[in-house]
Chains A and B, each alone.
Chain A
Amino acid sequence: MSYITKSPWVIHYDGSSCNGCDIEVLACLMPMYDVERFGIINTGNPKHADVFLVTGSVNEQNKNVVKQIYEQMPEPKVVVAIGICACNGGIFKECYNILGGVDTVIPVDAYVPGCAARPEAIIDAVVTGLGILEQKRQALANGELLKEPEPEAAVAAPEEAAEEGKEEA
């Protein structure tokens, strides 16, 4: 029996969104849609969150913020990219400072297209994310490693050090 799908706590981060999708995310929490019916709470604290909702594209200034929030969330966790900007950059894609969608920085589990994304679509994506969350929990319980492979630079560094050591020897 898993309880993670019964109480997913979300954290919401606004990349460089126009606020359209943000308002739709907040609309999900309001009496009209009331996602607390499913135990979903907006926590505002990465250490308490299970689902990371990102709106807007990622730029040079906020890419570290997005990474940091993702890294601070305890496993198992899922990321949902909300709106076309979060999916691939949207109308801001060609801007000089935009890296693109959220998946250029962190792994994304569910995408919600639309400008702005409809609350129904957001709730549907979070529910889809819960299925992935449950898979990740089982993987974690079975002792499989969930962490993303280290970036190439970090992996390469020990080899370089070893080579330098050989040269000195």
Chain B
Amino acid sequence: MVKVIIAVIAYIILAPIVGGFLAGLDRKITARMQGRVGPPVLQPFYDVLKLLEKESITVNRVQDFYVMCFFIFVIVTGCFFFAGENLLLVMFTLTLASVFLIVAAFSSNSPYAEVGAERELLQMLAYEPMVLITCVGFYMFTGSFEVGQIMLSTKMPFPYLIGIFLGFIFILTIKFRKSPFDLSMSHHAHQELVAGLKTEFSGKTLAMLEAAHWYENVFLLGMVFLFFVNGTWWGYVIGIVDVLLTYFLEILIDNSFARMKWQVAINSSWIVAVVLGTVNLFMLMFVR
């Protein structure tokens, strides 16, 4: 019980620090890939602290409440995960958080935010099947949905779940809002949709959204880590190295792809889920 409380408190305190640092590293590496010097690694922290200094402009009363709910439920998701709770519960809490963000965008009645929110719904439609297949894969391999039980596994899940791992990496591009599928917030292509989903958020609300993304990214990288645990210390080392490699791969994908249409996002991620995900699940039935 004490271990669980320590894990949860460590997540709440350390996740924004690690997440912000990773975001800074992302911007630095991206700049180097584009032949630029790039901002300081601590730039994301400066950005968020600046946003806290700005005037708050909100279009209606409920918008901030919904963004606050998004922020809280993302943290709750991570807390469940790092407390070793049920993987399905974790994923459904994350979905609930995303729904709050979408409702916040819809509540503003801004055309750009609405188009962004619609695209976010389509993105959820794209990544949800693969997320569920990942949970089922862990269940079939270890016989439990509990993250705590999966962590005790003496065999590394990665060789047996390699198809599911690749599929999960694929949808991570959507979850990290990276280039081929950066549809709803259009981080790079703001000429097209202003800022999409986050167009109407400013000041403290936007700062909260950024911090929530740091929490979310750390949790998602925790999911990647789960593929490499085998109960030994070198399993943890391999896990952390692979998490960093995965993050680098996502940055590389971000910089080497143009943005695609939402049809491509849905079709490709469902094809990946069906081919890599379900084939892996069938294989697992025979291997185990």
Contacts and interface: CB of A to CB of B under 8 A. Distances in A.
B194 A44 contact: yes
Interface stretch (A32-40, A93-101, A160-168): A32-40
Interface string B8-43: 000000000000000000010001001111111001
Given A3-B49, A7-B47, A74 B55 contact: yes
Contact of B191 (A31, A44, A50, A74): A44
Contact of B46 (A6, A42, A45, A48): A6
- Which of B31, B35, B39 is packed against the most chain A CB atoms within 10 Å? B39
B253 to A, nearest CB: 20
B202 interface: yes
Interface string B186-227: 000011001100011111001000000000000000000000
B46 A3 contact: yes
B190 A44 contact: yes
Among A38, A39, A140, residue most surrounded by chain B Cβ atoms (within 10 Å)? A39
Contacts of B34: 31
Given A4-B53, A47-B200, A31 B190 contact: no
A37 B55 contact: no
Interface in A70-113: 72, 74-76
Contacts of B38: 34, 36-37
B46 A47 contact: no
B285 to A, nearest CB: 50
A79 to B, nearest CB: 16
Contact of B53 (A3, A36, A37, A42): A3
A76 B37 CA distance: 28
Contact of A7 (B37, B46, B56, B194): B46
A34 B37 contact: yes
Nearest to A38: B39
Contact of A31 (B35, B54, B195): B35
A2 interface: yes
Given A31-B36, A39-B43, A48-B206, A3 B200 contact: no
A148 to B, nearest CB: 15
19 contacts: A2-B53, A3-B46, A3-B47, A3-B50, A4-B54, A6-B50, A36-B38, A36-B39, A39-B39, A44-B190, A44-B191, A45-B194, A45-B195, A47-B199, A48-B202, A72-B57, A74-B54, A75-B54, A75-B55
Lowest 10 CB-CB distances: which A-B pairs, in order? A44-B190, A47-B202, A74-B55, A3-B49, A75-B55, A6-B46, A3-B50, A34-B36, A31-B35, A7-B46
Interface of A: 2-4, 6-7, 31, 34, 36-39, 42-45, 47-48, 50, 72, 74-76, 137, 140
Interface of B: 27, 31, 34-40, 43, 46-47, 49-50, 53-57, 190-191, 194-195, 199-203, 206
